[in-house]
Structure 1
Amino acid sequence: MAAALRADEELMYEGQPKGFPFGNFNVEDVMLPEGDDMGIPSEDEAEEEQEIQSESGFGNVILIDGLPQAGADKYGKLTAILQKIAGGVGPVREGGVTHPVDSANGQSKGYAMVEYESPEAARAAAAALDGYALDKNHRFTAVLFDEAERVAAVPDEWTPPEARPAAAMQDAMGWLGDARARDQFMARHGDDTEIYWNDVPKQQGELVYARPFWTDSFVEWTPQGSLLCTLHRQGVALWGGADFARFMRMQHSGVLAVAFSGDERFCSTFAEPLPGPQGHAHGPPSAFSLCVWDARSGEKLRAWEGPQADYAVGAAARPDGGLAWNAFKWSGGQERPYLAHLKRGAVAVYEAPEFHLLDKKPMRVPNVQLIEWSPADPLLAAYQAEEGNLPARVAVFSLPSREELRAKNLFSVAGVALSWHPQGDYLAVQVDKWTKSHKSTTTNFELFSLRERDTPIDMMELPSRTEKVHALAWEPKGVRFAVLHGDGAKVSVSVYSMRGSGGGLGARGVELVVSWPNKQASTLAWSPQGRYLVLAGTKHTHGGVLEFWDVDEKALLSAGEHFGVTAVNWDPSGRYVATIVDASNSMDNGFRVWSFAGALLYKFDRDRFFQFAWRPRPPTLLSNEQVADIQKNLRRYAKRYEEEDEALLVAADSEFVAERNKLLDEWKTWHGAKLRWAKDAQANGVVRPPVSDFTIQKVEVSVIVDQKEEIVKMA
């Protein structure tokens, strides 16, 4: 029953339907004040506004140059062809094609203007038609009309801009000067993002910086760890320095992903239209935009916009047919970066810093389906699927020369996966092949040795070719790789070496090092320094089982458990490893830090835990000879570091004792004050109430002072 209105309220809501404003009324009967739509335009007004926007500007008009100059006899046919081409890439407004004619000679002027139904459609059409080959002598140049006007307005004489003083920048690498050589990590949980030192002697993380609502989606370290990148609806921002001040921001509405070049100088951002009200998308549902930026100045260097279908080729296509976020791939290493993406039958490679197409044309690779850059060199591996009588093949190309270093033909291919060694020394090609019946598959590996003359290829098969391969992981700074294989809940882990018996530089041939059967593992995690390998059960069926192995000694160092673990992440030094349980699990969110040998050091539990990432380190400035000399004479340095570690432990104990003494002193002060108060009260005749007026209740409380977990090996 609606509440009764007072007299002043009846006057206020005069003319409104009965029951207004308490809910039981018809919205259609509500009368809005004249000229006031309460911020909610009607459907008619929305359509009228859209019509006005479409007809009053040139945002939905493109200019196409490069057309033939046709006389009156061919003008109609050329215009019809132009209308068909323009309509094939987007919806053209009725009568929207304007093909001017020169009144002096009666020939067309060689350009045309096309008006599309929306600015989004016009941008997509300009991207699709730019470079379109009408015939061998005529290639289109298509730009937005507004862009053509802007270019035409540029004065003929260039006036250099006034130099602006550079903003003071904090030292982005200052964290590397930590006296205790600690690493930092980022933890994101709830609405908070926090940066910590990994303070192992104190068995906890030391907070460096914390900020709520720092990002709208996720954060990411740059490849060398100098800056932290946050993603927002408006674009991305870069932060760094001791107090994580903002270094740069780049506006790209609706950004979903970001990727950096290896030298951190450039980055790319990816966006696609997001669903709006009632499920309608803001723009064509198949559109996307990718921008390349100078990360130091924030300048936009290049942009790609258009239908996703033109770029969603092979592995670059998502299961729903859209374009994968990582379809544009940065080359590895510290040399001049390249950016590459798949095309139909080709690979487009763009060269920094202008990001023009390398050699002004795509690299022809027939039926290419997958590409992967070497992490260390400008080498590109490409997989080409079978087509007709042509077999499938995997080839490695050197850029910018486009030289094919080595290729391997493959037959009866069901699937291929490419896996580069972290230092680019080797490339593993996992080949799943159909059996003759096409009802099952077998697996073998083609292993390219990139550092050896003529790039030799070794072929390796597992003892049982029909076993399923779950993962392959290369040993960093080493010559070994581990394979996770088998069927059922328990699988096997086999470690192979790329050097044969003796292991010398001249030795070749793949050799089995060790195999561990019946393991509850789904993830292989090598230490970034090599030698140590963690087997982790990151699937729900594996219960979070962890095993820490020394592959050199083929020995199990320790076994542990982190129930619900979803990821394993080594720190850059290889001394510590974190196991993470993120918010995809409803319980026990957070992470644990372990030593390389599997000793649990400390825990970090937080609800709604989303992300953990160690801060990367830049490449060492030491030569290989200097690193080898340090490793050879490590015992000489060990004593000094042991003394420093001991001093830190003593300092930590001293801090703990000092805190205990401080609390004891505070309690003694409080207790003494209460004793003086009691004596003064007694001297002034204050009578203490009899004990019988009170109820005394004894309560026992248990407090866990310390807790340690130890793995006991049963005899």
Structure 2
Amino acid sequence: METLELPANIGILERGPAGATIHAHSAGSAISRSVFSDIPALQTLFSVDGRILACVHNSGVSVYDAKSFVPVLQIHTPGTVAVSFSTTGRFLCVLQKASNLGAGKEKNLTVWEVSSGAIAYDCFQKAFSKADWPTIQFSADDGIACRAVSNEVHFFFPPHFTTHHVRLRVEQVAKCKLSPCHHPVIASFAPTNQKQPGKVSLYDVPSAGTQELVKQEPKVQKSIFRVQDIDFRWASDGSAVLIIASSDVDMTNQSYFGETNLHYARVDGRVNCKVSLDKEGAVHEASWSPNSDEFVVVYGVMPAKATIFSALTCEPIYQLGSGPHNTVRWNPFGHMICLAGFGNLPGDLRFYDKKADGKYKLTGFARAACSVRSCYCKFIYFCVLNVDNGFKIWRYNGELLYHAERNKLYEATWQPVAAGTYKSRPISPGTVRKEDGSGLKGTGDTSGPRKPPPYVPPHGSSGTGSFSLAHAPPEESKPGKYRTSRSTEPFPFTATSGPPGATFADSKASKNAAKNAKKRAAAKAKKGMGAT
């Protein structure tokens, strides 16, 4: 078996009943148990570059250097609900449970400077929503921070949170999302009310030193009907945003689980539209490539379709086929994709590699039954199991590299690394695993799905229908250039026969009819000659 393309001593953090532990992994197996072992933790969070680690426990938060495992900050914040690092790891946001004293009596949201241990900013937050966390967002260089309040978005300019701030007037704002770049744009959402539809707006961030309350026209604005909640998905370069609009009730009565739509908006205003999807059903996932040049959407009733769209035009350019999928994961370099189906789906994994001509080639597949969480690390895919507790590591061709079994496992994740630590590499020759199981060198897990059998209707001649909502017919599951699932041409029906007296404009006369017509014409001509 060839050497595994996994960097030496890469860290995997796992959290169980005893606490958090980091293992060093290489060549598909655990090297040793790290000195960072069984640290009390109810939650864990790495900084974006993996340099520091925050562990939440009963008495507060402990921040560790993730390389030396030495504590760098101890925060006494009992009842901590959530934590988040700023983009560079300079600041740590901590949210505690709001007490019964009410708003204004305590400041339960604090921003700590990690190096000094000082509080840089604090305020009161009444409610907590995991989907809307973090409440305070930071730009790519931590030079700008923002927070949405009633009818306003507050901007701060660290480290001067209190002395330099600007308020942007945004009517009825319920949610906002800062783009992840050095010169960010803010996307805001105002829900539907009785007078107007939901509204999404993109604003430039006001400059420091301007007047305290700013009113400005949005760069881009979009009205969305029948929407109760919004999920913003920014491209990594901040050039465009995907907007997943959802409602608990489907006014068309087509779905019991509500309605979802996907919209697209470029910051320059050139494209602002609803993403055209050619299959009815929910939008299960929408994910940007790390290169910001395209995005993939998984949508429709099962078996769901997965389609690649251009980031410049929002037009479909490639489809990855249909299957039991509701999850998308890109590798950090943007040239590999994993489609997966978690939750009530069987856990099928399909790996694709992007070629120089823009086509995506299937490199492997596997099955991760009962998985609840997943992530990419370089070329390796990682899943956490919920029933058979533990975690598994797969290669990009579906080969099982490592399986760690645990009695109880609450969390497991890769330790992040700084951007640029590793370079993009093509897949190794001879490692592509075909759908019939051939073409794979070495040993590994072969429990993944084989090539699907030919499609048989539920009431086929065999008497034992094999129809499944989770599996598409073979011709629909293959990747290829984009093609719509429904033909826009009229149904190609040509009538050649029918009941007596029926006429068909497009039908062709039979040979006998043509022969009889010829005879009648000849007889008529002969009769005419006799008359003369």
Task: Give yes or no for TM over 0.5.
Answer: yes
User: Please, what is the CA RMSD of the aligned residues?
Assistant: 3.4
Question: For this pair of structures, how many residues does the alignment match?
Answer: 416
**Alpha-carbon distance, 1:180 to partner:** 5.5
**Cross-structure match for 2:406:** 606
Return the alpha-carbon distance in structure 2 between the equivalents of residues 370 and 325 of structure 1.
8
Instruction: Give the direction of change, closer, same or farther, for the CA distance of 1:462–1:713 in structure 2 (3 Å limit).
Output: closer
Aligned ranges for residues 547-586 of structure 1 at < 5 Å? 547-552=350-355, 553-571=359-377, 574-581=378-385, 585=386
Matched residue SS, 1:368: coil
Instruction: Give the direction of change, closer, same or farther, for the CA distance of 1:348–1:588 in structure 2 (3 Å limit).
Output: same
**Cross-structure match for 1:255:** 80
User: What is the aligned-residue identity percentage?
Assistant: 18
**390-399 or 244-253, which moves further after superposition?**
390-399
Instruction: Give the direction of change, closer, same or farther, for the CA distance of 1:570–1:410 in structure 2 (3 Å limit).
Output: same
Matched residue SS, 1:355: strand
Q: 1:428 aligns with which of 239, 242, 247?
A: 242
Instruction: Give the direction of change, closer, same or farther, for the CA distance of 1:596–1:404 in structure 2 (3 Å limit).
Output: farther
**Cross-structure match for 2:17:** 190
Matched residue SS, 2:371: coil
Return the alpha-carbon distance in structure 2 between the equivalents of residues 196 and 436 of structure 1.
46
Pair 1:373-2:188 in alignment: no
Q: For the Cα contact (< 8 Å) 1:257–1:325, is it kept in 2?
A: no
Instruction: Give the direction of change, closer, same or farther, for the CA distance of 1:435–1:190 in structure 2 (3 Å limit).
Output: closer
Q: Which has the higher strand share?
A: 2
TM-score, structure 2 as length reference: 0.70
**Cross-structure match for 2:117:** 298
Pair 1:620-2:425 in alignment: no
Instruction: Give the direction of change, closer, same or farther, for the CA distance of 1:443–1:708 in structure 2 (3 Å limit).
Output: closer
**Alpha-carbon distance, 1:537 to partner:** 1.9
Return the alpha-carbon distance in structure 2 between the equivalents of residues 481 and 295 of structure 1.
35
**Cross-structure match for 1:38:** none
**Alpha-carbon distance, 1:181 to partner:** 5.5
Aligned ranges for residues 178-217 of structure 1 at < 5 Å? 182-200=9-27, 203-207=28-32, 209-211=34-36, 213-217=38-42
**Alpha-carbon distance, 1:515 to partner:** 4.5
Q: 1:462 aligns with which of 270, 277, 287?
A: 277
Instruction: Give the direction of change, closer, same or farther, for the CA distance of 1:457–1:233 in structure 2 (3 Å limit).
Output: same
**Alpha-carbon distance, 1:460 to partner:** 2.1
Q: Residue deviations 1:243-277, cap 9 Å, x none?
A: 4111121222221211111111111110015xxxx
Matched residue SS, 2:139: coil
Pair 1:449-2:266 in alignment: yes
In structure 1, give the amino acid aligned to 2:114. Answer: A
In structure 1, give the amino acid aligned to 2:220. Answer: A
Return the alpha-carbon distance in structure 1 between the equivalents of residues 250 and 145 of structure 2.
41
**Cross-structure match for 1:124:** none
Instruction: Give the direction of change, closer, same or farther, for the CA distance of 1:443–1:220 in structure 2 (3 Å limit).
Output: closer
Q: For the Cα contact (< 8 Å) 1:547–1:558, is it kept in 2?
A: yes
Return the alpha-carbon distance in structure 2 between the equivalents of residues 196 and 216 of structure 1.
16
**Cross-structure match for 1:709:** 445
Q: 1:284 aligns with which of 97, 101, 109?
A: 101
Q: Which has the higher helix share?
A: 1
Return the alpha-carbon distance in structure 2 between the equivalents of residues 611 and 563 of structure 1.
17
Instruction: Give the direction of change, closer, same or farther, for the CA distance of 1:395–1:422 in structure 2 (3 Å limit).
Output: same
Instruction: Give the direction of change, closer, same or farther, for the CA distance of 1:324–1:335 in structure 2 (3 Å limit).
Output: closer
**Cross-structure match for 1:385:** 191
**Alpha-carbon distance, 1:400 to partner:** 3.2
**Alpha-carbon distance, 1:348 to partner:** 2.2
Matched residue SS, 2:410: strand
Q: 2:136 aligns with which of 325, 329, 352?
A: 329
Unpaired segments ≥5 residues, structure 1? 1-178, 274-281, 500-507, 622-626, 640-705
Q: For the Cα contact (< 8 Å) 2:36–2:69, is it kept in 1?
A: no
**Cross-structure match for 1:14:** none
Q: 2:219 aligns with which of 401, 406, 409?
A: 406
Return the alpha-carbon distance in structure 2 between the equivalents of residues 400 and 412 of structure 1.
29
TM-score, structure 1 as length reference: 0.53
Instruction: Give the direction of change, closer, same or farther, for the CA distance of 1:358–1:462 in structure 2 (3 Å limit).
Output: farther
**Alpha-carbon distance, 1:337 to partner:** 3.5
Q: Residue deviations 1:289-340, cap 9 Å, x none?
A: 111111101011222137x2xxx5xxxx65xxxx987252222312414131
In structure 1, give the amino acid aligned to 2:222. Answer: N
Instruction: Give the direction of change, closer, same or farther, for the CA distance of 1:339–1:213 in structure 2 (3 Å limit).
Output: farther
Return the alpha-carbon distance in structure 1 between the equivalents of residues 59 and 449 of structure 2.
54
Pair 1:265-2:265 in alignment: no
**Cross-structure match for 1:482:** 296
Return the alpha-carbon distance in structure 1 between the equivalents of residues 37 and 248 of structure 2.
52
Q: Residue deviations 1:531-575, cap 9 Å, x none?
A: 211122211x3222221122543332212112211111111xx22
Structure whose CA Rg is larger: 1
Instruction: Give the direction of change, closer, same or farther, for the CA distance of 1:326–1:437 in structure 2 (3 Å limit).
Output: closer
**Alpha-carbon distance, 1:376 to partner:** 2.4
Matched residue SS, 2:45: strand
In structure 2, give the amino acid aligned to 1:217. Answer: L
Unpaired segments ≥5 residues, structure 2? 1-5, 208-213, 430-441, 454-532
**Alpha-carbon distance, 1:708 to partner:** 4.1
In structure 1, give the amino acid aligned to 2:141. Answer: Q
**Cross-structure match for 1:511:** 316
Segments of 4+ in structure 1 off by > 4 A? 179-182, 210-213, 285-288, 357-360, 387-391, 402-405, 432-444, 711-715
Instruction: Give the direction of change, closer, same or farther, for the CA distance of 1:435–1:336 in structure 2 (3 Å limit).
Output: closer
Pair 1:353-2:150 in alignment: no
Return the alpha-carbon distance in structure 2 between the equivalents of residues 543 and 251 of structure 1.
43
Higher relative contact order (CA closer than 8 Å, sequence separation 6+): 2
Return the alpha-carbon distance in structure 1 between the equivalents of residues 250 and 67 of structure 2.
62
Return the alpha-carbon distance in structure 1 between the equivalents of residues 247 and 37 of structure 2.
50
Return the alpha-carbon distance in structure 2 between the equivalents of residues 330 and 285 of structure 1.
25
